[in-house]
């Protein structure tokens, strides 16, 4: 069992069961949640031998950020449900691992405090119908030092989270708020998920900010082409970790179509179900420039705060380095699709 999977098993024992279910759960019958992982399990590697790969080198540059490995932390809400220090502890762990963290707009710690840690940061943005408010959030994230915006595109409505509905989980515990949702008067606003969003809103954002913009939640190749056509700087193949449309295709199955459509014009990232270095290797071989991880980071955080996050990310990188050598490659960029088969 990979360390990330083991961490999930152990995190269940230390977390409040309602909070564990919020973090772990998915939408509907959780078919997409399960299939994200199952898609990796369906693949096998066809390694090359005697290639003199030498010592592995995972170092990666992504939109100007230098990373120890092509593994980025996905935006996830409410880290203080997992650990009292919340997103600050996550940031300390990610920094120690030489990684990059995407901070959710729904974080329970303010972006300025997280940025103080000094970790390379991207900001996970939910476009709000109030463009003035959105622009203010973007300016705040940029002023704090965030280096890119990750726009969530797959949430025109909230996912129906079966476990949360069963528990009646509707509100954060007393004293916990979304610190980045404060308006000019420092009042906390509610998140509005907006079914009227279109590519025009992405064009508006593109024109509003000088930061790189990545669109997260792309599965269809036509949307990948539209994203590039709207001047985005990266496309993230994601189904929100199976938390939005249950029955949506697994991200690994969607990846090749998006990679073809993007045709190398901007980086393509994938998240959903990455639980081991071998999973990461499969996604990289099929054309992803980097993978993102969501829940494994939360399990590390729950188990050991910053040290737990560092351990989860470190284990993923170690496993990836090991698998890289075993398939005959030295760098992630040496990986090719022929190394992956579906028997
Ligand atoms: C608890 C939780 C909160 C999340 N919050 C956000 C969020 O605020 N914004 C967003 O774009 N995606 C959010 N996601 C989705 C993740 O960014 C990511 O797509 C997903 O977790 C990847 O799948 P994985 O958990 O299997 O790695 C969240 C996921 C989880 C599990
Ligand atoms: C605290 C009760 C639940 C409130 C849900 C707010 C939506 C948060 C959005 C975060 C997210 O994307 C997710 O998948 O979760």
Task: Give whole-number Cα distances, 252 to 210, 281, 285, 312, 336, in Å.
Answer: 31, 12, 11, 21, 15
Domain that holds residue 208: 3-329
Q: Is there a catalytic annotation at residue 161?
A: no
Residue nearest to atom 13 of ligand 2 (CA): 77
With respect to residue 342, please indicate whether it lies within any of the assigned structural domains: no
With respect to residue 21, please indicate whether it lies within any of the assigned structural domains: yes
**Mutual angle of helices 17-24 and 3-14, in 10-degree steps:** 150
Among 73, 243, 312, name the best residue to mutate to test ligand 1's pocket (greatest count of ligand atoms within 8 A of Cβ).
Answer: 243
Distance, CA 143 to ligand 1 centroid (Å)? 24
With respect to residue 341, please indicate whether it lies within any of the assigned structural domains: no
Q: How many domains does the chain have?
A: 1
State the DSSP code for 79.
G
Residue 29 annotated as part of some ligand binding site: no
With respect to residue 84, please indicate whether it lies within any of the assigned structural domains: yes
The token duo for 183 is 């308006």
Burial category of 166 from C-beta neighbours within 10 Å (exposed 0-12, middle 13-18, buried 19 and up): exposed
SS3 98: coil
Ligand 2 proximity of 177 Cβ (cutoff 6 Å): no
pLDDT at 227: 98
Based on its alpha-carbon atoms, the radius of gyration of the chain, rounded to whole angstroms, reads 19
Beta strands, E only, 85-177? 100-104, 121-125, 149-152
Of the bound ligands, which one is closest to the alpha carbon of residue 23? 1
- Which of these, 43, 66, 45, 4, lies nearest to 325 by C-alpha position? 45
pLDDT at 14: 97
CATH of the domain at 59: 3.20.20.70
Of the bound ligands, which one is closest to the alpha carbon of residue 248? 1
Of the bound ligands, which one is closest to the alpha carbon of residue 294? 1
What is the C-alpha to C-alpha distance for residues 101 and 310, in angstroms, rounded to an integer? 12
ipTM of the complex: 0.99
- Which of these, 237, 302, 314, lies nearest to 58 by C-alpha position? 314
> Which is the closest atom of ligand 1 to the Cα of 154?
11
Ligand 2 proximity of 187 Cβ (cutoff 6 Å): no
Pairing label, strands 60-62, 65-67: antiparallel
Q: Which helix (H) or strand (E) holds 65?
A: strand 65-67
Residue 275 annotated as part of some ligand binding site: yes
Residue that the structure tokens 């509005």 belong to? 192
Residue nearest to atom 29 of ligand 1 (CA): 76
Phi-psi region of 273 (alpha: psi -120 to 50; beta: other; left: phi over 0): left
Distance, CA 83 to ligand 2 centroid (Å)? 17
Pairing label, strands 340-341, 44-45: antiparallel
Yes or no: say if 212 and 149 are a contact pair by the CB < 8 Å rule.
yes
pLDDT at 11: 97
Q: What lines the ligand 1 site, CB under 6 Å?
A: 23, 36, 74-77, 104, 106, 124, 152, 216, 238, 240-241, 243, 271-274, 293-295
Residue nearest to atom 10 of ligand 1 (CA): 75
With respect to residue 53, please indicate whether it lies within any of the assigned structural domains: yes
Among 103, 105, 106, 216, name the best residue to mutate to test ligand 2's pocket (greatest count of ligand atoms within 8 A of Cβ).
Answer: 106
With respect to residue 174, please indicate whether it lies within any of the assigned structural domains: yes
Q: What is the pLDDT along the chain (343 residues), one digit of tens a residue?
A: 787 889 999 999 999 999 999 999 999 999 999 999 999 999 999 999 999 999 999 999 999 999 999 999 999 999 999 999 999 999 999 999 999 999 999 999 999 999 999 999 999 999 999 999 999 999 999 999 999 999 999 999 999 999 999 999 999 999 999 999 999 999 999 999 999 999 999 999 999 999 999 999 999 999 999 999 999 999 999 999 999 999 999 999 999 999 999 999 999 999 999 999 999 999 999 999 999 999 999 999 999 999 999 999 999 999 999 999 999 999 999 999 999 999 9
With respect to residue 170, please indicate whether it lies within any of the assigned structural domains: yes
Among residues 83, 220, 240, 322, which one is catalytic? 240
pLDDT at 5: 87
With respect to residue 338, please indicate whether it lies within any of the assigned structural domains: no
Burial category of 33 from C-beta neighbours within 10 Å (exposed 0-12, middle 13-18, buried 19 and up): buried
């Amino acid at each position: 069992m990979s360390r990330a999977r083991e961490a999930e098993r152990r995190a269940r024992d230390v977390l409040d069961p309602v909070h564990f279910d919020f973090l772990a759960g998915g939408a509907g019958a959780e078919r997409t949640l399960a299939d994200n992982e199952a898609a990796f399990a369906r693949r096998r590697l066809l390694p090359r031998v005697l290639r003199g790969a030498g010592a592995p080198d995972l170092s990666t540059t992504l939109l100007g950020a230098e990373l120890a490995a092509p593994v980025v932390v996905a935006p996830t809400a409410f880290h203080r449900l997992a650990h009292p220090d919340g997103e600050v502890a996550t940031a300390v762990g990610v920094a120690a691992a030489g990684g990059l963290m995407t901070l959710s707009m729904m974080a329970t710690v303010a972006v300025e405090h997280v940025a103080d840690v000094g970790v390379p940061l991207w900001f996970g943005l939910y476009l709000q119908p109030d463009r003035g408010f959105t622009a203010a959030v973007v300016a705040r994230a940029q002023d704090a030092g965030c280096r890119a915006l990750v726009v969530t595109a797959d949430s025109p409505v909230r996912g129906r989270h079966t476990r949360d509905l069963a528990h009646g989980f509707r509100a954060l515990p007393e004293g916990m708020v979304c610190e980045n949702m404060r308006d000019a008067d420092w009042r906390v606003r509610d998140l509005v998920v907006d079914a009227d969003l279109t590519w025009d809103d992405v064009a508006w954002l593109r024109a509003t900010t000088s930061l790189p913009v990545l669109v997260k939640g792309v599965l269809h190749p036509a949307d990948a082409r539209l994203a590039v056509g709207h001047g985005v700087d990266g496309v993230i193949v994601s189904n929100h970790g199976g938390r939005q449309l249950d029955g949506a295709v697994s991200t690994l199955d969607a990846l090749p179509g998006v990679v073809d459509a993007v045709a190398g014009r901007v980086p393509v990232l994938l998240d959903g179900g990455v639980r081991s270095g071998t999973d990461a290797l499969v996604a990289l071989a099929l054309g992803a420039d980097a993978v993102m991880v969501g829940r494994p980071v939360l399990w590390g955080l729950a188990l050991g705060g910053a040290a737990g996050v560092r351990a989860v990310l470190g284990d993923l990188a170690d496993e990836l380095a090991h698998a890289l050598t075993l398939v005959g490659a030295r760098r992630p960029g040496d990986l090719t699709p022929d190394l992956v088969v579906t028997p």
